[in-house]
Structure 1
Amino acid sequence: MNKNVVSAICGCLFFVNSFSQDKNIEELLNEIEQNNTELKGYQSYMESQQLENRSNNNLPDPQLSGYYLPFGDNATGDYTEYQLSQSFEFPTVYAARGKWNESKSQQLALANANKRQEVLLKAKNALLELTFLQKQKAIETERKTQSKRVLDQIQKLFDAEQVGILDLNKANIAWIQEQFVVEQIDSEIQILLSKLKTFNGGNAIDGVTSELALPIKVGAVESLWQEKLTKDPLLQELKTNEAATLQKIKLEKNKILPNIALGYNYQGVSGNNYSGIYGGLSIPLWSSKNKVKAAKANYEYQQSATHVITTALYTQFQETYNRYQLMLEKYTEYQRTMGNLNSEQLLFKAYMLGEYSFMDYYLELQFYRDASDRMLQMEKDLQLLQAQLLKHQL
C-alpha cells in the first residue's frame, strides 16, 4: 500500500515537473522572434536605411576657394582672393524633407513588422504541424501495439492449426505497416524540429507538446476584417505609402524655391584689400521641371494601388474565412458523430472474442481509422487556416 502511495506521489511530481517545462505557443514564438537571424538582419538593414534617409537631409559641404595671380603684366602687385561659403536649400525644404523621411521611416518599420509576421506565421505553422504529428504518433503507436497483440494471437492460433498461413501473413503485414508509419512520423518530426531550430537562430526548440493546438473558433468575418485593417502592417503600409507620396508633393513644391549661399570673401592687391559677406541665389528653373507633376501622378497611382490591393486582400480573406467555416462545420459533425463511438476498442474486443475473422476485423478497423485520421487532418487544417486568418495578431 505504501509503495503504491509513494509511486503515485512520484508520478504526480513528475507530471507537474513536465508540465512546468512546457511552453505555450506565444512563449515559443517570442523565443523564435528573439533568436531569428533573418529578423535580426532585417532590423540592421532597417536601421541603416533610416540613417541613410537622414543623411539625405544634411547641408552640403562648405566650400573654400582662392585665387593667387602672380603672372601677367601688372604694375599694382599680385592679386589674391579667397572665399569661404556655405550653400543650402531654402529652409522650408529641410522641414518638408524631414517629414518625408519620417514617412519613409514608418514604411521601413511596417515592412519590418510585416517581415516579422511572415517569419512568425511560418514558425507557428511548423509548431502546429509538430503538435499534430505528435498526436498522430501517439495514435499510431497505440495502433502498432494493438497490431502486435493481434499478430501474437494469430501466431498462437496458427501454431494450434486453427488459422491458415494467409491470415498470419496478413497480420504480420499489418504490423509491419504500422511500424513503418510510426518510423515515418518520427522522421517527419525530426525534419520539423530541424526547421524550427533554423527559425530559432540555431537553438533547439524545447517544450513543444501535443497540447499546443489553439481553440478552433474565431470571431465574425467583419469584426476580424476591421481588426485586420487597424493591425495588419501590410494594410497599414499602404496608408503610409500614400502619406509618403503626398509629402513628396509638398517637398517638390518647396524645392522650387531658390537655393541660398552665404559666405566670406577677401580680395587683395598691392597692400590694398577688400573683404565682406558673400551671398548668392540659385534659382532651380530646370532641375525642378515636371518634378511636382511626377509626384502628383505617383500619389494618384498610390491611391489606386491602395484600393486595388486592399480589395484583393479582402477577397482573399473572405475566401479563407469561408473555407474555414465550411471545414469547421464538417469537423463539428465528425466530432459529434465519432466522439463517443470508441469503435477501435469495441472492434478489438469483438475480434478477441471471436466474433470477427481477421479479414473482417481489419476491414472494419481501417474504415474507422480512416475516419479518425480524416478528423485529425481536418483539425490540423482548421488550425492552419486559423493561423492565416489571425496573422495580424502575431
Structure 2
Amino acid sequence: MITSLCLYLLLAVQARAQSTVAGVLRQVEANNKTLQAAQQYREARKLEYRTGLNPEDPFVEYVYFNGQPAEAGNQKEFAVTQRIDFPTAYGRKRRVANLQEAQADYQYAQQRQSILLEAQQATLQLIYLNRQLRVFEERYQDIEELYRRFQKSTRAGEGNVLDENKARVRLLDIRTTLQANRARRRVLEERLTELNGGQPVIVTDTAFAAVPAVPAFEVLDTLIEVSDPRLKTLEQQARVQEEKVELAKALSLPKLEGGYRYQSILGQTFQGMHAGISIPLWERRNTVNTQQAYSQYAQAQLESERVAHRQEVRQAYEEYRVLQESLQDYQELMAKPENLRLLEKALRLGEISAAEYFMELSFYYDTYDRYLELETEAQQKVAELLRYTL
C-alpha cells in the first residue's frame, strides 16, 4: 500500500513538472514581446514581397499647344501607354514571392524556437534550484541541530569546542550556499518574467518529469534536419536564389509597350494604336551573372550549415549519452541513503570523531550535489536535442 502510494505521488510530481514546463512555454509564446514584434515584422515582409508583382501603372499624357499666329490653330495630343516586362517575368516574380514568404515563416519559427528553448532551459534550471534550496534547508536544519547538541555537550563539560566550531563553520558554509541559491533563483525568475512579456512566472516544482526518450542518432539527425527552421531558412534561401536567376533571365528579355494615341491639329484628328519594344542592350547587363553568383553562395552556405549541423547534433548526442551513463551510476549510488544514517549513528555512539563525520558528510553532500547537477544537465541536454518539437 505504501509502495503504491509513493509511486502515485512520484508520478503526480513528474506530471506536474511536465505541465509546469509546458505551461511556461505557452505563456511565453503568448506574451513574449520579441515574438509579437517578430510576427508583425513577418507580416510586413510578406506584404513587401507581394509588392511589385504587377505591371507598371499606365501612363496618361495630355498635351495642348497654342498656335501662333492665331490662324495656325491649336494642337492637342492625348496618349495612354502601358509598359510591361516580358510576360514570363510575372510568373517568376510570383514564384520568388511565394518562396520568400515561406522563408519569412521559417525565420520566425527559428526565432520562436530559440526563445522557447531559452524559457525551457530557464524553467528546468529553476526546478533544479528549487530542489537544491529544499535540500540545503534540510541540511541547515540537520547541522543546526547537531551544532546545538555540540554546544550543549561543551557547556556540560562532555564535549569540546573544536567539534562545536566545526559544526558552526559548516552552518556558515550552508548559509552562504543558501544565499547564493536564492540570488540565482531571483536572476532566473527575472529573466523568465522578461521572456514572458513582463508578467511574473511562478515555478515552484522541485522534481523533474521523466526524461523523454531520445531516438538513435541517425534517426534523431534526420528528424532534426527535416524540421529545423534554421536549415529550412537556408534551404529556402537557396531556392529563392535559384528562382531569382530565372527571374533575371526573364527580365533581360525585351519589354513591351502598347497604348492609344490621339492628335488634333488644324481641324484634323488623328488616332490609333501605339506599340513598342525595348532592345535589351546594356540596362540589365551582368544581372544574370550576379544572381548566379548569389545562388552559388547560398548553396555553399547551405552545404556548410548541413555539415556543421550534423556535427553539432552528434556532439550534443554524445554529451547526452555520457550524461545518461554518469547519471545512472549516481542514481545507483544515491539509492542507498542508509549510508548517511549509519554515519549519524556512528557519530552518536562515538565510533567516529566530529572531524571524520564532517569529512564523510562533505563527501556525501558533494556526491549528492553532483547527482542533482547531472540530472539537470541531462534534462537540459535532452531539451536541446528535442528543440525541433517546440
Distance 1:104 1:117 in 2: 20
Match of 1:60 in 2: 56
Distance 1:325 1:87 in 2: 64
Match of 1:356 in 2: 352
- The answer to whether 1:287 aligns with 2:293 is no
Amino acid at match of 1:363: M
Match of 2:301 in 1: 305
Matches within 5 A, 1:189-268: 189-215=185-211, 217-268=213-264
Match of 2:380 among 380, 384, 387: 384
Distance 2:124 2:203 in 1: 13
Distance 1:393 1:21 in 2: 18
Distance 2:111 2:293 in 1: 29
Amino acid at match of 2:270: Y
SS in 2 for 1:55: coil
Contact 1:86 1:261 in 2 (8 A): yes
Contact 2:17 2:207 in 1 (8 A): no
Distance 2:82 2:372 in 1: 73
Q: 1:245 to 1:349 in 2, by over 3 A?
A: same
CA offsets, 1:243-280, max 9 Å, x none? Answer: 11111122112112222223222211122222233222
Q: 1:251 to 1:203 in 2, by over 3 A?
A: same
Displacement of 1:136 in angstroms is 0.6
Match of 2:161 in 1: 165
Match of 2:30 among 34, 42, 60: 34
Displacement of 1:171 in angstroms is 1.4
Distance 2:38 2:377 in 1: 31
User: If the length of structure 2 is used for normalisation, what is the TM-score?
Assistant: 0.91
SS in 1 for 2:124: helix
SS in 2 for 1:327: helix
Contact 1:24 1:212 in 2 (8 A): no
Match of 1:7 in 2: none
- The answer to whether 1:335 aligns with 2:331 is yes
Matches within 5 A, 1:131-146: 131-146=127-142
CA offsets, 1:144-172, max 9 Å, x none? Answer: 01011101101110110122223222212
CA offsets, 1:346-386, max 9 Å, x none? Answer: 32232233332221111110011111111111111112221
Amino acid at match of 1:335: Q
Displacement of 1:342 in angstroms is 3.4
Match of 1:3 in 2: none
Match of 2:99 among 103, 112, 131: 103
Contact 1:23 1:208 in 2 (8 A): no
Distance 1:208 1:64 in 2: 71
Match of 2:367 in 1: 371
Displacement of 1:71 in angstroms is 5.0
Amino acid at match of 1:47: E
Match of 1:326 in 2: 322
CA offsets, 1:27-60, max 9 Å, x none? Answer: 3212211111111101111111110111121332
CA offsets, 1:6-43, max 9 Å, x none? Answer: xxxxxxxxxx9xx9899332232122111111111011
Displacement of 1:218 in angstroms is 1.6
- The answer to whether 1:115 aligns with 2:108 is no
Match of 1:6 in 2: none
Following superposition, which runs of at least 4 residues in structure 1 exceed 4 angstroms of deviation?
19-22, 71-75
C-alpha RMSD over aligned residues? 2.2
Q: Could you tell me which runs of 5 or more consecutive residues in structure 2 were left unpaired when the two chains were aligned.
A: 1-11
SS in 1 for 2:205: coil
Contact 2:127 2:203 in 1 (8 A): no
Amino acid at match of 2:267: G
Matches within 5 A, 1:36-51: 36-51=32-47
Amino acid at match of 2:187: I
Contact 1:22 1:209 in 2 (8 A): no
Contact 2:17 2:205 in 1 (8 A): no
Match of 2:272 in 1: 276
Q: Could you tell me which runs of 5 or more consecutive residues in structure 1 were left unpaired when the two chains were aligned.
A: 1-15
Distance 1:391 1:283 in 2: 54
Displacement of 1:73 in angstroms is 5.3
Contact 2:126 2:203 in 1 (8 A): no
Contact 1:76 1:269 in 2 (8 A): no
Amino acid at match of 1:331: L
Contact 1:248 1:295 in 2 (8 A): yes
Contact 2:242 2:295 in 1 (8 A): yes
Distance 2:141 2:169 in 1: 14
Contact 1:133 1:189 in 2 (8 A): yes
- The answer to whether 1:88 aligns with 2:84 is yes
Distance 1:75 1:32 in 2: 81
Displacement of 1:345 in angstroms is 3.0
Amino acid at match of 1:346: L
Match of 2:8 in 1: none
Displacement of 1:125 in angstroms is 0.7
CA offsets, 1:122-145, max 9 Å, x none? Answer: 111101110100111111111001
Distance 1:141 1:133 in 2: 12
Contact 2:136 2:174 in 1 (8 A): yes
SS in 1 for 2:55: coil
SS in 2 for 1:361: helix
